[in-house]
Amino acid sequence: MLTVKNRYASLRLLDTMQPFIVTVLFALVASYFADQQSVQACAVCLTGADGSVADAYDWSVLFLMTTPYLVVGSIAGGLAYAHRRAAVKKANDAAAEAAPIHLAWNQKESGR
């Protein structure tokens, strides 16, 4: 038999979510009373779209975005170069091993 305490699952859910609800409410109240200057986080919001700080911010974002691609591209390029080099070396070794050696006596060449 179910007791009154265990009967309503939605009330148990509210009990477990109470710390989360308090944290969200605290964050909302803190953001309401925050100073507008301290809320503006990026250089474009603070100085506007035209300015040296905004340009520096744009360049830093560009460098941060391209760095992972350069690293991965360098590794992939090195692996491709090593693979091609090994394939050429293997083909040269196979060609050297497959070259026929003429040890038979040819009457045409000896003049007999």
Terminal alpha carbon distance of the chain? 116
| pLDDT of res. 78 | 97
Alpha-carbon gap, residue 33 to 75, rounded angstroms: 49
Torsion of CA 46, 50, 51, 56, to 10 degrees: 90
Which tokens sit at 46? 């603070």
Domains of the chain by residue range: 1-34, 43-101
Give the pLDDT of the chain (112 residues) as one tens digit per residue: 455 555 655 566 667 778 888 888 888 888 777 776 665 666 566 666 677 777 888 889 899 999 999 999 999 999 999 999 999 999 888 877 766 666 666 667 666 5
| pLDDT of res. 37 | 62
| pLDDT of res. 5 | 56
Q: What is the pTM of this model?
A: 0.44
Alpha-carbon gap, residue 24 to 108, rounded angstroms: 100
Which tokens sit at 73? 């591209």
User: Residue 14 contacts by C-beta under 8 Å, 6 or more apart in sequence?
Assistant: 21
